[in-house]
Structure 1
Amino acid sequence: MTNTTILQKCLPDFGKELIAEIEKFGIIKPFPDNEFIVKQGQLIRYLPIVLEGNVKAYSEEDGVQFLLYFIQQGASCIFSFVHLFNQNPIDFSAISEGKSTILLIPIDKAKEWLIRYPSFNTLIINEFQKHYNDLLHTTKQIICYKLEDRLWDYLKTKAKISGTNELAISHQSIADDLGTTREVISRLMKKIELDEKVIQNNRKIKLLTSDF
Protein backbone atom coordinates (compact mmCIF):
# COMPACT_ATOMS: atom_id res chain seq x y z
CA MET A 1 0.00 0.00 0.00
CA THR A 2 1.44 3.39 -1.01
CA ASN A 3 1.73 6.34 1.36
CA THR A 4 -0.95 8.15 -0.64
CA THR A 5 -3.36 5.25 -0.23
CA ILE A 6 -2.68 4.98 3.51
CA LEU A 7 -3.24 8.71 4.03
CA GLN A 8 -6.43 8.78 1.94
CA LYS A 9 -7.78 5.75 3.82
CA CYS A 10 -7.00 7.04 7.30
CA LEU A 11 -7.67 10.74 6.68
CA PRO A 12 -10.54 10.68 4.15
CA ASP A 13 -11.64 14.27 4.81
CA PHE A 14 -8.31 15.72 3.70
CA GLY A 15 -8.26 16.94 0.08
CA LYS A 16 -5.65 16.12 -2.54
CA GLU A 17 -3.69 19.31 -1.88
CA LEU A 18 -3.28 18.65 1.84
CA ILE A 19 -2.47 14.97 1.24
CA ALA A 20 0.27 16.08 -1.18
CA GLU A 21 1.63 18.48 1.46
CA ILE A 22 1.65 15.73 4.06
CA GLU A 23 3.49 13.37 1.70
CA LYS A 24 6.09 16.07 1.09
CA PHE A 25 6.75 17.20 4.65
CA GLY A 26 5.39 14.46 6.93
CA ILE A 27 7.08 11.26 8.05
CA ILE A 28 5.20 7.95 8.08
CA LYS A 29 6.94 5.72 10.60
CA PRO A 30 6.17 2.18 11.84
CA PHE A 31 6.46 1.52 15.58
CA PRO A 32 6.74 -1.94 17.15
CA ASP A 33 4.75 -2.84 20.23
CA ASN A 34 5.53 -0.89 23.42
CA GLU A 35 7.77 1.76 21.84
CA PHE A 36 7.73 5.43 22.83
CA ILE A 37 6.35 7.83 20.21
CA VAL A 38 6.90 10.77 22.54
CA LYS A 39 8.32 10.66 26.06
CA GLN A 40 7.59 12.80 29.09
CA GLY A 41 10.21 15.52 29.56
CA GLN A 42 11.07 15.86 25.86
CA LEU A 43 10.35 18.79 23.57
CA ILE A 44 7.66 18.30 20.94
CA ARG A 45 9.06 18.36 17.39
CA TYR A 46 6.21 16.63 15.59
CA LEU A 47 2.45 16.35 15.84
CA PRO A 48 1.70 12.59 15.78
CA ILE A 49 -1.41 11.19 14.08
CA VAL A 50 -2.19 7.48 14.32
CA LEU A 51 -2.64 5.89 10.89
CA GLU A 52 -2.78 2.25 11.98
CA GLY A 53 -2.88 0.58 15.39
CA ASN A 54 -3.45 2.07 18.83
CA VAL A 55 -1.47 4.39 21.11
CA LYS A 56 -1.69 4.87 24.86
CA ALA A 57 -1.18 8.35 26.35
CA TYR A 58 -0.22 8.49 30.02
CA SER A 59 1.47 10.71 32.56
CA GLU A 60 3.85 9.86 35.39
CA GLU A 61 4.28 11.63 38.71
CA ASP A 62 6.59 10.56 41.55
CA GLY A 63 7.06 7.17 39.94
CA VAL A 64 3.31 6.52 39.59
CA GLN A 65 2.02 6.03 36.04
CA PHE A 66 -1.53 7.07 35.18
CA LEU A 67 -3.49 6.34 32.01
CA LEU A 68 -4.94 9.41 30.28
CA TYR A 69 -6.64 7.87 27.22
CA PHE A 70 -6.12 5.78 24.10
CA ILE A 71 -5.55 7.21 20.62
CA GLN A 72 -6.91 5.33 17.62
CA GLN A 73 -6.68 5.49 13.82
CA GLY A 74 -7.07 8.96 12.32
CA ALA A 75 -6.63 10.68 15.70
CA SER A 76 -3.96 12.63 17.53
CA CYS A 77 -3.23 13.70 21.09
CA ILE A 78 -4.75 16.68 22.87
CA PHE A 79 -1.53 17.29 24.80
CA SER A 80 0.44 17.48 21.55
CA PHE A 81 -1.86 20.30 20.40
CA VAL A 82 -1.09 22.30 23.54
CA HIS A 83 2.62 22.14 22.79
CA LEU A 84 2.22 23.41 19.22
CA PHE A 85 2.46 26.93 20.60
CA ASN A 86 5.09 26.65 23.33
CA GLN A 87 8.53 25.11 23.76
CA ASN A 88 8.03 23.62 27.21
CA PRO A 89 8.94 19.96 27.82
CA ILE A 90 5.93 17.70 27.56
CA ASP A 91 4.26 16.29 30.67
CA PHE A 92 2.97 13.06 29.13
CA SER A 93 4.18 10.03 27.19
CA ALA A 94 2.64 8.20 24.23
CA ILE A 95 3.50 4.56 23.58
CA SER A 96 2.42 2.13 20.87
CA GLU A 97 0.09 -0.72 21.79
CA GLY A 98 0.86 -3.44 19.29
CA LYS A 99 2.36 -2.59 15.92
CA SER A 100 1.38 0.93 14.90
CA THR A 101 1.98 3.31 12.01
CA ILE A 102 2.28 6.97 12.95
CA LEU A 103 2.27 10.10 10.80
CA LEU A 104 4.70 12.67 12.22
CA ILE A 105 3.96 16.24 11.10
CA PRO A 106 6.62 18.89 11.80
CA ILE A 107 5.36 21.48 14.28
CA ASP A 108 5.88 24.43 11.93
CA LYS A 109 3.82 22.73 9.21
CA ALA A 110 1.06 21.82 11.67
CA LYS A 111 0.76 25.49 12.65
CA GLU A 112 0.69 26.54 9.00
CA TRP A 113 -1.94 23.96 8.00
CA LEU A 114 -4.23 24.99 10.87
CA ILE A 115 -4.66 28.29 9.02
CA ARG A 116 -4.51 27.09 5.41
CA TYR A 117 -6.69 23.97 5.52
CA PRO A 118 -10.14 23.91 7.18
CA SER A 119 -10.15 20.08 7.16
CA PHE A 120 -6.94 19.99 9.21
CA ASN A 121 -8.31 22.58 11.62
CA THR A 122 -11.51 20.52 11.97
CA LEU A 123 -9.47 17.42 12.84
CA ILE A 124 -7.64 19.34 15.57
CA ILE A 125 -10.85 20.76 17.05
CA ASN A 126 -12.69 17.42 16.95
CA GLU A 127 -9.80 15.57 18.59
CA PHE A 128 -9.47 18.26 21.25
CA GLN A 129 -13.16 17.86 22.09
CA LYS A 130 -12.99 14.06 22.10
CA HIS A 131 -9.96 13.82 24.39
CA TYR A 132 -11.32 16.58 26.61
CA ASN A 133 -14.39 14.36 27.10
CA ASP A 134 -12.11 11.36 27.71
CA LEU A 135 -10.32 13.26 30.46
CA LEU A 136 -13.62 14.32 32.03
CA HIS A 137 -14.70 10.67 32.02
CA THR A 138 -11.42 9.62 33.66
CA THR A 139 -11.75 12.33 36.32
CA LYS A 140 -15.35 11.32 37.03
CA GLN A 141 -14.28 7.69 37.41
CA ILE A 142 -11.57 8.58 39.94
CA ILE A 143 -13.92 10.72 42.02
CA CYS A 144 -17.15 8.73 41.79
CA TYR A 145 -16.38 5.10 40.92
CA LYS A 146 -14.92 2.24 42.89
CA LEU A 147 -11.69 0.77 41.55
CA GLU A 148 -13.56 -2.40 40.56
CA ASP A 149 -15.86 -0.35 38.32
CA ARG A 150 -12.89 1.48 36.81
CA LEU A 151 -11.17 -1.85 36.16
CA TRP A 152 -14.22 -3.26 34.36
CA ASP A 153 -14.58 -0.09 32.27
CA TYR A 154 -10.87 -0.27 31.43
CA LEU A 155 -11.14 -3.88 30.25
CA LYS A 156 -14.13 -3.07 28.04
CA THR A 157 -12.31 -0.08 26.55
CA LYS A 158 -9.25 -2.23 25.80
CA ALA A 159 -11.47 -4.84 24.14
CA LYS A 160 -13.23 -2.20 22.06
CA ILE A 161 -10.10 -0.56 20.70
CA SER A 162 -8.37 -3.88 20.03
CA GLY A 163 -11.44 -5.40 18.38
CA THR A 164 -11.34 -8.61 20.43
CA ASN A 165 -12.73 -9.83 23.74
CA GLU A 166 -9.49 -11.72 24.49
CA LEU A 167 -6.77 -9.49 25.93
CA ALA A 168 -3.11 -10.44 26.30
CA ILE A 169 -2.34 -8.11 29.19
CA SER A 170 -0.69 -8.62 32.57
CA HIS A 171 -2.06 -7.61 35.94
CA GLN A 172 1.01 -5.42 36.39
CA SER A 173 0.27 -3.52 33.17
CA ILE A 174 -3.32 -2.93 34.26
CA ALA A 175 -2.10 -1.77 37.68
CA ASP A 176 0.28 0.71 36.04
CA ASP A 177 -2.51 2.16 33.89
CA LEU A 178 -4.92 2.52 36.81
CA GLY A 179 -2.34 3.84 39.27
CA THR A 180 -2.53 0.99 41.78
CA THR A 181 -0.65 -2.20 42.69
CA ARG A 182 -0.56 -5.60 40.99
CA GLU A 183 -1.84 -7.27 44.16
CA VAL A 184 -4.95 -5.09 44.21
CA ILE A 185 -5.65 -5.78 40.54
CA SER A 186 -5.15 -9.52 41.00
CA ARG A 187 -7.66 -9.52 43.85
CA LEU A 188 -10.22 -7.54 41.85
CA MET A 189 -9.70 -9.68 38.74
CA LYS A 190 -10.45 -12.78 40.82
CA LYS A 191 -13.68 -11.17 42.01
CA ILE A 192 -14.69 -10.21 38.45
CA GLU A 193 -13.93 -13.77 37.36
CA LEU A 194 -16.13 -15.18 40.15
CA ASP A 195 -18.87 -12.84 38.93
CA GLU A 196 -18.53 -14.63 35.55
CA LYS A 197 -17.55 -11.50 33.66
CA VAL A 198 -14.14 -12.81 32.57
CA ILE A 199 -12.06 -15.95 32.23
CA GLN A 200 -8.31 -15.82 32.98
CA ASN A 201 -6.03 -18.36 31.37
CA ASN A 202 -2.35 -18.39 30.33
CA ARG A 203 -1.84 -14.67 30.98
CA LYS A 204 -4.88 -13.81 28.88
CA ILE A 205 -8.16 -12.25 29.96
CA LYS A 206 -11.31 -13.13 28.02
CA LEU A 207 -14.36 -10.92 28.50
CA LEU A 208 -17.62 -12.89 28.63
CA THR A 209 -19.70 -10.07 27.21
CA SER A 210 -20.16 -8.23 23.93
CA ASP A 211 -21.07 -5.00 25.71
CA PHE A 212 -18.04 -2.97 24.65
Structure 2
Amino acid sequence: MNNSLKNFIQASFPNTDSKHPIQTEFLSVGELVQVSEGDFLIDINEEMTYVPIVTDGVLKVTREDEDGHELFLYYLEYGETCTISMMYQESAVRVTAEEDTWVYKVPIGSINDWMSRFPEWRDFLMKAYKVRFDGLLQAIDELAFKKMDERLINYLNKLKAIKESNELNVSHSEIALSLNTSREVISRLLKQLEKLGKVELGRNKVILK
Protein backbone atom coordinates (compact mmCIF):
# COMPACT_ATOMS: atom_id res chain seq x y z
CA MET A 1 0.00 0.00 0.00
CA ASN A 2 1.23 3.49 -0.85
CA ASN A 3 2.61 5.01 2.39
CA SER A 4 0.85 8.34 1.82
CA LEU A 5 -2.46 6.50 1.41
CA LYS A 6 -1.82 4.55 4.61
CA ASN A 7 -1.02 7.79 6.46
CA PHE A 8 -4.16 9.39 5.08
CA ILE A 9 -6.35 6.55 6.35
CA GLN A 10 -4.79 6.64 9.81
CA ALA A 11 -5.17 10.43 10.04
CA SER A 12 -8.71 10.54 8.63
CA PHE A 13 -10.16 7.70 10.71
CA PRO A 14 -8.10 7.82 13.92
CA ASN A 15 -10.68 5.98 16.03
CA THR A 16 -10.73 2.90 13.80
CA ASP A 17 -8.26 0.06 13.26
CA SER A 18 -7.19 -1.67 10.06
CA LYS A 19 -10.01 -4.23 10.36
CA HIS A 20 -12.78 -1.64 10.61
CA PRO A 21 -15.14 -1.80 7.58
CA ILE A 22 -14.53 1.84 6.65
CA GLN A 23 -10.82 1.10 6.27
CA THR A 24 -11.13 -2.26 4.52
CA GLU A 25 -13.84 -1.05 2.12
CA PHE A 26 -12.00 2.21 1.48
CA LEU A 27 -8.95 0.27 0.35
CA SER A 28 -10.86 -2.30 -1.68
CA VAL A 29 -13.05 -0.03 -3.83
CA GLY A 30 -10.66 2.77 -4.79
CA GLU A 31 -7.96 3.17 -7.41
CA LEU A 32 -4.61 4.86 -6.77
CA VAL A 33 -3.35 6.72 -9.85
CA GLN A 34 -0.54 9.12 -10.63
CA VAL A 35 -1.23 12.32 -12.56
CA SER A 36 1.76 13.95 -14.23
CA GLU A 37 2.45 17.66 -13.78
CA GLY A 38 0.26 19.73 -16.12
CA ASP A 39 -2.15 16.89 -16.97
CA PHE A 40 -5.89 17.10 -16.38
CA LEU A 41 -7.38 14.82 -13.77
CA ILE A 42 -10.91 16.14 -14.34
CA ASP A 43 -12.09 18.38 -17.16
CA ILE A 44 -15.13 20.63 -17.27
CA ASN A 45 -18.34 18.78 -18.21
CA GLU A 46 -16.67 15.40 -17.67
CA GLU A 47 -18.99 12.79 -16.17
CA MET A 48 -18.20 12.32 -12.49
CA THR A 49 -17.97 8.68 -11.46
CA TYR A 50 -15.51 9.11 -8.58
CA VAL A 51 -14.24 11.59 -6.00
CA PRO A 52 -10.48 12.30 -5.96
CA ILE A 53 -8.49 12.37 -2.73
CA VAL A 54 -4.92 13.68 -2.87
CA THR A 55 -2.45 11.34 -1.16
CA ASP A 56 0.70 13.06 -2.42
CA GLY A 57 1.28 16.19 -4.48
CA VAL A 58 -0.95 19.14 -5.41
CA LEU A 59 -3.95 19.64 -7.70
CA LYS A 60 -5.16 23.01 -9.00
CA VAL A 61 -8.92 23.62 -9.34
CA THR A 62 -10.15 26.21 -11.85
CA ARG A 63 -13.38 27.43 -13.44
CA GLU A 64 -13.93 28.51 -17.04
CA ASP A 65 -16.46 30.94 -18.54
CA GLU A 66 -18.22 30.71 -21.90
CA ASP A 67 -15.36 32.56 -23.61
CA GLY A 68 -12.74 30.15 -22.30
CA HIS A 69 -11.32 32.46 -19.63
CA GLU A 70 -9.99 30.45 -16.74
CA LEU A 71 -10.15 31.45 -13.07
CA PHE A 72 -8.12 29.89 -10.27
CA LEU A 73 -10.24 28.73 -7.31
CA TYR A 74 -8.02 26.78 -4.91
CA TYR A 75 -5.42 24.05 -4.50
CA LEU A 76 -6.00 20.51 -3.27
CA GLU A 77 -3.17 19.18 -1.13
CA TYR A 78 -2.49 16.03 0.89
CA GLY A 79 -5.63 14.52 2.39
CA GLU A 80 -7.98 16.94 0.65
CA THR A 81 -10.77 16.13 -1.78
CA CYS A 82 -12.75 18.08 -4.35
CA THR A 83 -16.16 18.04 -2.69
CA ILE A 84 -17.60 20.02 -5.61
CA SER A 85 -17.26 16.85 -7.68
CA MET A 86 -19.77 15.14 -5.37
CA MET A 87 -22.49 17.63 -6.19
CA TYR A 88 -22.72 17.25 -9.97
CA GLN A 89 -23.13 14.45 -12.49
CA GLU A 90 -20.85 16.46 -14.77
CA SER A 91 -17.87 18.38 -13.45
CA ALA A 92 -18.28 22.13 -13.00
CA VAL A 93 -14.52 22.62 -12.56
CA ARG A 94 -11.21 21.63 -14.13
CA VAL A 95 -8.65 19.82 -11.95
CA THR A 96 -5.01 19.87 -13.07
CA ALA A 97 -1.86 18.46 -11.49
CA GLU A 98 0.31 21.31 -10.28
CA GLU A 99 3.11 18.74 -9.86
CA ASP A 100 3.33 14.97 -10.16
CA THR A 101 0.49 13.89 -7.89
CA TRP A 102 -0.93 10.66 -6.49
CA VAL A 103 -4.73 10.56 -6.30
CA TYR A 104 -7.01 7.94 -4.78
CA LYS A 105 -10.24 7.66 -6.77
CA VAL A 106 -13.25 6.64 -4.68
CA PRO A 107 -16.42 5.67 -6.62
CA ILE A 108 -19.43 7.94 -6.11
CA GLY A 109 -21.63 4.94 -5.27
CA SER A 110 -19.42 3.93 -2.36
CA ILE A 111 -19.35 7.47 -1.00
CA ASN A 112 -23.14 7.64 -0.91
CA ASP A 113 -23.33 4.19 0.71
CA TRP A 114 -20.78 5.07 3.41
CA MET A 115 -22.66 8.26 4.30
CA SER A 116 -25.49 6.18 5.72
CA ARG A 117 -23.30 3.51 7.33
CA PHE A 118 -20.21 5.16 8.81
CA PRO A 119 -20.24 8.24 11.06
CA GLU A 120 -16.44 8.40 10.57
CA TRP A 121 -16.96 8.98 6.86
CA ARG A 122 -19.64 11.61 7.46
CA ASP A 123 -17.24 13.44 9.79
CA PHE A 124 -14.52 13.33 7.14
CA LEU A 125 -16.84 14.73 4.47
CA MET A 126 -18.18 17.50 6.71
CA LYS A 127 -14.64 18.65 7.43
CA ALA A 128 -13.83 18.47 3.70
CA TYR A 129 -16.92 20.55 2.83
CA LYS A 130 -15.90 23.20 5.36
CA VAL A 131 -12.36 23.43 3.99
CA ARG A 132 -13.65 23.82 0.43
CA PHE A 133 -16.35 26.31 1.43
CA ASP A 134 -13.76 28.42 3.25
CA GLY A 135 -11.57 28.24 0.14
CA LEU A 136 -14.40 29.42 -2.09
CA LEU A 137 -15.21 32.27 0.27
CA GLN A 138 -11.59 33.35 0.12
CA ALA A 139 -11.66 33.24 -3.69
CA ILE A 140 -14.85 35.34 -3.74
CA ASP A 141 -13.37 37.84 -1.28
CA GLU A 142 -10.29 38.25 -3.46
CA LEU A 143 -12.37 38.84 -6.58
CA ALA A 144 -14.78 41.25 -4.91
CA PHE A 145 -12.59 43.18 -2.50
CA LYS A 146 -8.94 42.96 -3.51
CA LYS A 147 -7.02 44.73 -6.23
CA MET A 148 -5.06 42.74 -8.78
CA ASP A 149 -1.72 43.49 -7.13
CA GLU A 150 -2.98 41.99 -3.86
CA ARG A 151 -4.38 38.96 -5.68
CA LEU A 152 -1.05 38.50 -7.44
CA ILE A 153 0.94 38.58 -4.19
CA ASN A 154 -1.49 36.15 -2.54
CA TYR A 155 -1.26 33.80 -5.51
CA LEU A 156 2.55 33.85 -5.46
CA ASN A 157 2.57 33.19 -1.72
CA LYS A 158 0.24 30.23 -2.21
CA LEU A 159 2.60 28.83 -4.84
CA LYS A 160 5.52 29.40 -2.49
CA ALA A 161 3.78 27.40 0.23
CA ILE A 162 2.79 24.65 -2.21
CA LYS A 163 6.26 24.34 -3.75
CA GLU A 164 8.04 24.95 -0.42
CA SER A 165 10.42 27.22 -2.31
CA ASN A 166 10.93 30.95 -2.96
CA GLU A 167 11.85 30.12 -6.57
CA LEU A 168 8.73 29.62 -8.67
CA ASN A 169 9.01 28.22 -12.18
CA VAL A 170 5.97 29.92 -13.62
CA SER A 171 5.48 32.18 -16.62
CA HIS A 172 3.64 35.50 -16.72
CA SER A 173 1.08 33.92 -19.03
CA GLU A 174 0.40 31.08 -16.59
CA ILE A 175 -0.13 33.53 -13.74
CA ALA A 176 -2.41 35.67 -15.91
CA LEU A 177 -4.47 32.62 -16.86
CA SER A 178 -4.92 31.61 -13.24
CA LEU A 179 -5.94 35.14 -12.19
CA ASN A 180 -8.16 35.73 -15.24
CA THR A 181 -6.30 38.78 -16.48
CA SER A 182 -3.88 39.65 -19.27
CA ARG A 183 -0.20 38.79 -19.44
CA GLU A 184 0.57 42.50 -19.88
CA VAL A 185 -1.09 43.34 -16.55
CA ILE A 186 0.84 40.62 -14.74
CA SER A 187 4.14 41.64 -16.34
CA ARG A 188 3.59 45.27 -15.31
CA LEU A 189 2.73 44.34 -11.72
CA LEU A 190 5.68 41.95 -11.44
CA LYS A 191 8.05 44.67 -12.67
CA GLN A 192 6.65 46.99 -10.02
CA LEU A 193 7.24 44.33 -7.36
CA GLU A 194 10.77 43.85 -8.67
CA LYS A 195 11.47 47.59 -8.34
CA LEU A 196 10.22 47.40 -4.76
CA GLY A 197 12.64 44.54 -4.10
CA LYS A 198 9.90 42.02 -3.38
CA VAL A 199 10.65 39.69 -6.29
CA GLU A 200 13.40 38.87 -8.75
CA LEU A 201 12.33 38.01 -12.28
CA GLY A 202 13.90 35.52 -14.66
CA ARG A 203 12.83 33.62 -17.76
CA ASN A 204 9.61 31.83 -16.74
CA LYS A 205 10.72 32.30 -13.15
CA VAL A 206 9.72 34.43 -10.18
CA ILE A 207 11.87 34.49 -7.05
CA LEU A 208 10.19 35.84 -3.92
CA LYS A 209 12.38 37.91 -1.61
Question: TM-score, normalised to structure 2's length?
Answer: 0.92
Moved more, 193-202 or 171-180: 193-202
* Correspondence for 1:54: 58
Q: Superposed, which structure 2 residues align to 1:45-124 within 5 Å?
A: 45-61=49-65, 62-83=67-88, 87=89, 89-124=90-125
Q: How many residues of Structure 1 are paired with residues of Structure 2 in the alignment?
A: 202
Q: Secondary structure at the match of 1:185?
A: helix
Q: Superposed, which structure 2 residues align to 1:60-209 within 5 Å?
A: 60-61=64-65, 62-83=67-88, 87=89, 89-208=90-209
Counterpart of 1:148 in structure 2: which amino acid?
D
Q: Secondary structure at the match of 1:98?
A: coil
* Correspondence for 1:33: 37
Please point out which of 20, 23, 27 is paired with 2:24: 20
**Cα displacement (A) at 1:191:** 0.6
* Correspondence for 1:9: 7
**Cα displacement (A) at 1:8:** 2.2
Q: Is contact 2:85-2:92 (8 Å) kept?
A: no
**Cα displacement (A) at 1:150:** 0.4
Q: Is contact 2:171-2:203 (8 Å) kept?
A: no
Q: Is contact 1:30-1:99 (8 Å) kept?
A: yes
Q: Is contact 1:8-1:19 (8 Å) kept?
A: no
CA deviation vs aligned residue, 1:59-81 (integer Å, no higher than 9, x gap): 10121000111110000013112
CA deviation vs aligned residue, 1:9-50 (integer Å, no higher than 9, x gap): 123232323232122110000111011111101110101000
Report percent identity of matched pairs.
Answer: 28
d(CA) in 1 for partners of 2:120 and 2:168?
35
The answer for unaligned runs of 5 or more in structure 2 is none
Q: Is contact 1:78-1:132 (8 Å) kept?
A: no
CA deviation vs aligned residue, 1:87-131 (integer Å, no higher than 9, x gap): 3x2211111111000000011001112222222222211111111
**Cα displacement (A) at 1:163:** 1.4
d(CA) in 2 for partners of 1:117 and 1:205?
46
Q: Secondary structure at the match of 2:55?
A: strand
Counterpart of 1:50 in structure 2: which amino acid?
V
The answer for unaligned runs of 5 or more in structure 1 is none
Q: Is contact 1:52-1:101 (8 Å) kept?
A: yes
d(CA) in 2 for partners of 1:169 and 1:56?
14
